[in-house]
Structure 1
Amino acid sequence: MKVLFVSAECTPLAKVGGLADVVGSLPLALAKLGVDVRIALPYYGFLGQLPKSEEPVWTGSAMFQRLEIYESHLPESDIPLYLVGHPAFANDRIYGSEDEAWRFTLFSRTVAEFIWRGGWDPQVLHCHDWHTALLPLWMRAMPVMTVYTIHNLAYQGPPLAGFRSFVDVPYDTGAWNPMAAGIIHSDAITTVSPTYAREICSPEYGERLDGLLRAQGGRLTGILNGINTDALDPATDKYLPVNFDAASLELRVENKLALQRELGLEVNPYRMLVGIVSRLVDQKGFDLLAPLWDIWMNNSAAQVVVLGSGDPFYEFLFRGAAERYPERVRAFLRYDGALSQRIYGGADLFLMPSRFEPCGIGQMIALRYGAVPLVRKTGGLADTVHFHNPIDEEGNGFLFDRYEPQSLLAMLFRSEEAFRYRDYWQRLQLRGMQADLSWKVSAGRYLDLYGQLVARIG
């Protein structure tokens, strides 16, 4: 089986969100199952130090531009990596440029040319999000099966009519933006959790594509993401002051105490420490916190640490909370990979109250590291976090359903009450840490899907 992943992001090379984590870890799991899997990625300027072939493995043209493809490898693996080189990718920005639609269309069209001209002949082309959504359309006449994965339906790309000024887009696509084109013309559509696959077929979550998605029937499948449990392992994580695992959970408190000292908070193992590691955007549910900060802080002993950046409104919200409660709240409005690992490994509770969440990686890392997640019951959060039942000792976290501040506040108080019962809380942590969060099962489902598609070629 030969599979080519095509994506704008890939951990650990180019990461903005969860898309990168999937593209950087699912191929590793597929390779263990015997798949010849490779990845195509723009050759961003910040990848200049990445070892690669001295000469291009392919040179050609697309959209009246001359391009080169170099071969490298996904770090610490044997996964071949095709780097699409052009001055448009030479800066240090992945998203946000004015020519974003042109850049990613150039990238996708180059991959199409690479396949058409015999650069490599995959049996399955696995495309991700709107940046590569035109590839299934261009592959219609090729003996290549296409899988299109929706990581976040909210980001669908610009109107398709504008693309015709610089690339061939047939008028019989039946689509009005790149994501719609990917849905219509791919051989199979996947999204990143079973619950999200159901949700996006409803008007509430469908982002005006719900009717199109309902019409796909069995072509749409939800396959839950996993995480790279080798790289994300509290027993070996170099950023943790003290390594631990499920068999040595008692050592974890040392990470909490070290984190409290680092943050300048009261060093006290009996104060619940709440961690937030997130992009600060509407999707993540932080508008629920704005009206309840004072009620929560005045009726709780919890400490809070926030790490992330994004919408200026939410940065202002968390900065203001840190100023009003300087002894209990800390806000770091930036990306910091090392600090995020220390938060996962030291916080008691991990807060992720998303309005919607296709899958979510944060709650799975939190479970792996013994930070009990408190999440909204939506998308992949509902598929990975199960409500704590202290009587039957079931569940691995806390969930609320209705998207309103009162529901979140009630669950914050409930979790802090549960934290008082140390033995129960440790067993709750262990249930999360012992869950299988790897890609093993999901990679097998993708392999089955690939096999069904390739069988159609004959």
Structure 2
Amino acid sequence: MKVAFVSSEVYPFIKTGGLADVAYALPKALAKLGHDVRVILPAYKQIPEGLLQGAYWVTNVELMGKTFWINCVESEGVKYYLIFEPLFSNRDSIYENDDRDYQFAMFCEITLKLLKNINFQADVIHTNDWQTGLIPFFMHQRYYADPFYYDTKTLYTIHNLRFQGIFSSQAVRALGYRFDDISINYMQLGIQYATKVNTVSETYAKEILTDFYGEHLNHNLWMRKADLSGIVNGIDVDLFNPEVDLSLRSQYSVETLYLKADNKEELQRRFGMEVNKEMALIGVVTRLDSQKGLDLMACVMEEMLIHDHVQFFILGSGEAKYEAFFQSLRDRYPQKLGVYFGYNAALANLVYGASDMFLMPSLYEPCGLSQLISLRYGTVPIVRETGGLNDTVHAFNEFTKEGNGFSFTNYNAHDMMYTIRRALSFYYQGKETWQLLMKRGMTGDYSWEQSAQRYVELYQSMF
């Protein structure tokens, strides 16, 4: 099939969140399955120049008195089309600009003109999140009248329903589209007009139909329920591989699990914590906000630091109140708590490799990649049963020995603490069981191959 994959961010060019990882890994996996995939993204000034070596010009697009020039970079069977113009390349921020409504409305319009200019008659235009939500709407209003697009279908993937792109409709009307309301919701239009809609886990696809998770769009989603599905993301198993990961002090495999503890010692030593291979270490790599369950952690962490034989390491940035809180805990309990405020990919991988457990107590989690990475590194996940966490982490049953982690249902700090303490009891008192959990995690299949095949089936179902 011929697929145009449109995303506002794509790793390694530009990344602010998990969307960039998906926009890199899924097209690559589709190409490996033999499909012709073209990825389209804005050329932000933050893109490292080294990644643009070998780029070549393919076409220009004229729009609203501006000339947008399109360069192409090829890698691993995928062609990446980058849209150059000061609208994108002269900005200090990707998403926080005052005219981001114009920025991404024009991105959507340019994409549809670009595909025709290069004569790429896609079977499916795969759009992602609010930044590309206007593409199905533009197709409906204008482009389906063009014979070039007669047979083209659109898929709209929701990565996070919380961020919707709500603006004045001025930008859309300036592009010549009819829209009678004063305000416009880019995500809502993607949901309404795409051929099919999906999100990044089966559980999240069900959750967003409810008032609690629906972010005021659950009624719109109910209208598309027959066309709504969920596909869990994968991870790049070449990128996240403890056998060859140079971020680790000691690489390890299922056969050499004893080397994993070297990485714990390295992290403990680097951040001034008590160096103790035997003490359980719980890792957290996250955005510091309430969606990620930081309020639950803040409620009980000091109690656990005082009373439990456990260390925590937190890597992330976000709300100032959480940074201040965890820094104050770090100052009081430096032997048992390490913190790093910011993001560092190499350090994140060391946290995955060093930790015994990985904590994700999210209020909601559309898919989540960290729990998959932790499993890959033999680090047992402790999660709340929501979204993709519910689909990928299965609670350990001490009688049947089934499961690959620990989980709790209610969004409650003491339920979380009970689950952590249950995991700690197996860590300290059931070494054989713990080895089983580690090996089960490391031998699971978290690659994009299965997910990519499900996307192909979803594409095919639209015809």
Q: Say whether the fold is shared (TM-score over 0.5).
A: yes
User: Is 1:355 equivalent to 2:356 in the alignment?
Assistant: no
- Equivalent residue for 1:169, pick from 158, 174, 177: 177
* Number of the residue aligned with 1:37: 37
> How far does residue 189 in structure 1 lie from its aligned partner after superposition?
0.5
Check 1:411–1:102 CA distance in 2 against 1; reply closer, same or farther (3 A cut): same
Counterpart Cα distance in 2 of 1:417 and 1:12? 40
| AA of the residue aligned to 2:330 | A
Q: Are 1:71 and 2:80 counterparts? A: no
Give the match's secondary structure for 1:399: strand
1:206 aligns with 2:214: yes
Structure 1 position 52, deviation (Å): 4.9
Alignment counterpart, residue 204 of structure 2, candidates 185, 196, 204: 196
Structure 2: unaligned runs, 5 residues or longer: none
Change (3 A) 1:173 1:68: farther
Helix, strand or coil at the partner of 1:289: helix
Residues of 2 paired with 1:272 and 1:224: CA distance? 30
- Partners in 1 of 2:380 and 2:18 — Cα distance? 20
User: Is this contact kept in 1: 2:56–2:73, CA < 8 A?
Assistant: no
Q: Tell whether 2:51 aligns with 1:50.
A: yes
Note the 1:43-442 alignment, pairs <5 A.
Answer: 43-47=43-47, 48-52=49-53, 56-74=57-75, 77-90=76-89, 91-140=91-140, 141=144, 142-143=149-150, 144-159=152-167, 161-164=169-172, 166-171=174-179, 176-420=184-428, 421-442=430-451
Contact 1:63 1:106 in 2 (8 A): no
What do residues 18-46 of structure 1 show as CA deviations (whole Å, max 9, x unaligned)?
11111110111111111001111111112
Does the CA-based 8 Å contact 1:285-1:355 persist in structure 2? yes
CA contact (8 A) 2:288 2:323 kept: yes
2:191 is matched by which residue type in structure 1? I
Aligned amino acid, residue 369 of structure 1: Y
State which drifts further: 244-253 or 216-225: 244-253
Rate the CA distance shift 1:55–1:344 in 2: closer, same or farther, 3 A. closer
**3-state SS of 1:354 partner:** coil
- Return the alpha-carbon distance in structure 1 between the equivalents of residues 65 and 209 of structure 2: 39
Q: Is the 8 A contact 1:173 1:181 kept in 2?
A: no
Instruction: Give the SS at the match of 2:165.
Output: coil
CA distance in 2: counterparts of 1:160 and 1:407, whole angstroms = 43
For 2:345, the aligned partner's letter is G
- Aligned mates of 1:160, 1:201 — CA distance in 2: 26
Per-residue CA deviation, residues 375-398 of structure 1 (Å, 9 max, x unaligned), is 110000000001112222111111
Deviation at residue 255 of structure 1 after TM alignment: 1.5
The Cα offsets for residues 419-455 of structure 1, whole Å up to 9 and x where unpaired, read as: 10222111111111111111121111111121222x3
Partner Cα distance (2:22, 2:175) in 1: 28
| In 2, Cα distance between equivalents of 1:195 and 1:160 | 33
User: Offset at 1:245?
Assistant: 1.6
Find the aligned partners of 1:101 and 1:374 in 2 and give their Cα distance: 39
Q: How far is the alpha carbon of 1:175 from its aligned partner?
A: 9.1
In the TM superposition, residue 92 of structure 1 has moved relative to its aligned partner by 4.7
| Structure 1: segments with no counterpart, 5+ residues | none
Contact 1:193 1:225 survives alignment (8 Å): yes
Q: Measured at CA, do residues 190 and 175 of structure 1 come closer, stay the same or move farther in structure 2, by a change above 3 Å?
A: farther
8 Å Cα contact 1:126-1:148 kept in structure 2: yes
Quick one: distance in 2 between partners of 1:176 and 1:407? 40
Q: Distance in 2 between matches of 1:174 and 1:385?
A: 44
State the alpha-carbon separation in 2 of the partners of residues 365 and 449 from structure 1. 26
The residue identity in structure 2 corresponding to 1:184 is Q
Q: Which amino acid aligns with 2:135?
A: L
Distance apart, 1:305 and its partner CA: 0.9
Equivalent residue of 2:423, what SS?
A: helix
1:341 and 1:183 map into 2 onto residues whose CA distance is: 35
Give the TM-score, by structure 1 length: 0.95
C-alpha separation in 2, matches of 1:83 and 1:43: 5
**8 Å Cα contact 2:169/2:179 also seen in 1:** no
Q: 1:341 to 1:428 in 2, by over 3 A?
A: same
Distance 1:432 1:173, change over 3 A: farther
SS in 2 for 1:413: helix
TM-score (norm 2): 0.94
RMSD over aligned Cα atoms: 1.8
Q: Indicate the SS of the match to 2:12.
A: coil
One-letter code aligned to 2:461: Q
* Cα distance in structure 1, aligned partners of 2:56 and 2:298: 54
In the alignment, is the contact (CA less than 8 A) between 2:166 and 2:183 conserved in 1? no
